[in-house]
Structures are given as structure tokens and as C-alpha cells.
Amino acid sequence: MKPPPFAYAKPSDLAEALRLKADHGDAGTFIAGGQSLMATLNMRLSAPDILIDVGAIGELAGIEISGGRVRIGALTRYRELEDSELIASHAPLIARAIAQVGHPAIRNRGTIGGSIAFADPAAELPACILALDGEVEIAGPDGRRKVAAGDFFKGLYDTDLGPGEVITAVEFAGDSPEWRTGFDELARRQGDYAMAGLAARLRIDGGKVAEARLVYFAVGATPVLAPLAGAKLAGSTLGNEAIEAAAAALDGDLDPFDDLHCSAAMKLHLARELTRRVLTEMAGGAA
Ligand SMILES: Cc1cc2nc3c(=O)[nH]c(=O)nc-3n(C[C@H](O)[C@H](O)[C@H](O)COP(=O)(O)OP(=O)(O)OC[C@H]3O[C@@H](n4cnc5c(N)ncnc54)[C@H](O)[C@@H]3O)c2cc1C
């Protein structure tokens, strides 16, 4: 199926993009990599009058490390993250997750800003940003603001983005020796959306877990931080007993629903298995 007709604009600065969006309101839609949007247009799930392409706005590009914080511009493509030495050394969780995002053709075009804005519950990067306790940087008609990832993902494909707002970047604390990260997902085939996934970040102090952020994806309407499972790890040396207790505690943290890929019961089972796999690997000290 072909998309309905639309006009197209490619502003070269943010002010112009925001002005176009304000002029057109709901009839104007931002496009970045197009990897989700074009599919929804082709299926006629949306029919904007105009696409506002943010791809030429230099301010949205680039990866920077400053004061121990990693800042990734919204326009950064998955491929750039995959190839970036800065990401490999300062954000190993992202480096690990990115290889699981779709297929190479998707990673050549798709952007981190598009992924965060689209907020697919099975997407890898929203879960990573939440595990990293990151912030989403936003610009809009009322100026600029930052929102904690924990407050950004509101529901199924629903975020804190207001009318006329655009994501400019994501930001989070860079890797440091006291933190360990781990990631895994289970999908039917390499490149498919996950049936269940886990992005984990643990702070280790004196050989014991001081803080645990276990974030599951594809098991709810948003990425889900699991505080009960995390509490079972606190104070432990990440032995089998603590890992099994965390896996068992997921009953209280997760409330998955059936989707096209598998049942809710299967998702819970997969989330438990991922907990064992990821934490056991992290217990071995892998970043
Ligand atoms: C076959 C296939 C397999 C895929 N597999 C996966 C997968 O395994 N994991 C995964 O995470 N994703 C997967 N995707 C989706 C892919 O990651 C998309 O690239 C991503 O969801 C959207 O990024 P984009 O840059 O392409 O955004 P676009 O498609 O251009 O836009 C998506 C939405 O975000 C909005 N938007 C884009 N950028 C901004 C911004 N800066 N500020 C505000 N709003 C913005 C747009 O208006 C639109 O509503 C897959 C896609 C396909 C087609």
C-alpha cells in the first residue's frame, strides 16, 4: 500500500522545525529515520498533511562526553552508535543492546530520538535509557526541558512529549568502575522484536550489590523497572540464591499481556530466564 499524499519540509535549524510544527499542529509530523513512521503511513494508520524532516538539523546530531555524562543527539543513527568508540567505552549497555535492534538496514536509518519518541514497548533503547536512569532532552514552543526517563514513558506508544515538542538528545551518566551492566533478549529470530528483554545496571560496593536497576521490555505497555526483583539483589554478592529470589519476585513487578508473539505466562517465564542469564553473566564481572 502507498502512503496518502503529503507535503514535505526539511528545515536546517530547530527554530524553523518548531515553527513549522506550530503552524501545522496535529497535521504536521516530524520524521527522522522513517523506519517506523513510513510503515504507519504505508498502512494508512496516520495521514499527516506535511512531514517535517529533522534530518538536517545539526544541533540534533552527535555523541559527546562531558563531566562524566554521555549526551547522544536525537538524530544519531543506530549504526553510528554501533560504530562509536565513545559508546563502546562509556555506554557499554547501549553498545551491547544495539546489535539486537532490527536488521542492518533498519540500523542504517533509524535514530535514537525516533526510537524514544515512538516508545515501542518492545524496543531496546527506551529500556536502556531507563536502566541508565537517563534523561530525555526536549525542545518545544515553551522552551527546553529535561525529563527523567522514568517519567517519560507513559503508556503504550505514549510519552511525555507535548504538542509541538521535539526530542533533541538523551543524556545519562557514563560508565564507571562501580557500575556493571548487562543485556539480553529473546526473540523468535535474530532481528525480530523481542518477546522479552532485560537491560540491567548494578552498582557494586565492596563486592556487594548496592543498587539494582533491572528494566524489562516487551512485557508491558512501557519498559518496566522492577524494584521488587532489584531489592532481592541488594546486599548480595550476586550468588544463585539472590538471583533466584530476584527471578521469583518478578511476579510482583511485571504484569505482561499476550501479544502476537507469545502469551503473558510465557513472557513472565522468559523474563525469569533472562534474569538468571543476565545476572549470572554479570556475577562473572562482565560489563
Ligand atoms: C522491520 C523492522 C524491524 C524493526 N525492529 C526493531 C527492533 O528490533 N527494535 C527496535 O527498537 N526497533 C525496531 N524497529 C523500529 C526502528 O527502531 C525505528 O527506527 C524506530 O522505532 C524509530 O526511529 P526512526 O528514526 O526511524 O523514527 P521515525 O520512523 O522517523 O519516527 C517515529 C516516530 O517518532 C517521531 N519522532 C522521530 N524523531 C523524533 C524526535 N527527534 N522528536 C520527536 N518525535 C520524533 C516521529 O514523528 C514518529 O512519530 C524496526 C522497524 C522495522 C521496519
- Band (pLDDT 50/70/90 cuts) for residue 285 is low
Distance CA 141, CA 66 (A): 27
Q: Does position 60 have pLDDT exceeding 50, yes or no?
A: yes
pTM of the predicted protein model: 0.96
Neighbours of 40 (CB within 10 A): 15
Indicate if 231 and 162 belong to the same structural domain.
no
What percentage of the chain has pLDDT greater than the value 70?
99
- Which numbered atom of ligand 1 lies nearest the CA of 193? 8
Instruction: Give the residue from 172, 201, 228 where a domain finishes.
Output: 172
Task: Specify if 136 maps to a domain.
Answer: yes
Task: Specify if 184 maps to a domain.
Answer: no
| Tens digits of residue pLDDT in 23-41 | 999 999 999 999 999 999 9
Distance CA 59, CA 75 (A): 9
**Among 35, 43, 38, 32, which Cα is nearest to 1's?**
43
Indicate if 70 and 37 belong to the same structural domain.
no
Q: Does position 287 have pLDDT exceeding 60, yes or no?
A: no
Mean pLDDT of 67-72: 96
Q: Give the number of domains in the chain.
A: 3
Task: Specify if 257 maps to a domain.
Answer: yes
- Which numbered atom of ligand 1 lies nearest the CA of 111? 25
Neighbours of 83 (CB within 10 A): 13
Can you give the three-state secondary structure of the chain, one letter per residue? Answer: CCCCCCEEECCCCHHHHHHHHHHHHHHEEEECCCCCHHHHHHCCCCCCCEEEECCCCHHHCCEEEECCEEEEECCCEHHHHHHCHHHHHHCHHHHHHHCCCCCHHHHHHCEHHHHHHHCCCCCHHHHHHHHCCCEEEEEECCEEEEEEHHHHEEECCEECCCCCCEEEEEEEECCCCCEEEEEEEECCCCCCCCCEEEEEEEEEECCEEEEEEEEEECCCCCCEECHHHHHHHCCCCCCHHHHHHHHHHHHHHCCCCCCCCCCHHHHHHHHHHHHHHHHHHHHCCCC
Pocket of ligand 1 (CB under 6 A): 29-37, 39, 54, 74, 101-102, 106, 109-111, 113-115, 117-118, 120, 123-124, 161, 166-167, 193
Domain that holds residue 120: 63-172
110 φ, ψ to 5°?
A: -65, 150
Pocket test for ligand 1, best of 51, 101, 118, 130 (most atoms within 8 A of CB): 118
- Band (pLDDT 50/70/90 cuts) for residue 261 is confident
Mean pLDDT of 60-65: 96
Mean predicted lDDT score pLDDT of the chain: 96
Q: Which CATH number does the domain housing residue 12 bear?
A: 3.30.43.10
Task: Specify if 181 maps to a domain.
Answer: no
Cell 525529563 found at: 147
Q: Which CATH number does the domain housing residue 141 bear?
A: 3.30.465.10
Pocket test for ligand 1, best of 106, 108, 147, 222 (most atoms within 8 A of CB): 106
Task: Specify if 1 maps to a domain.
Answer: no
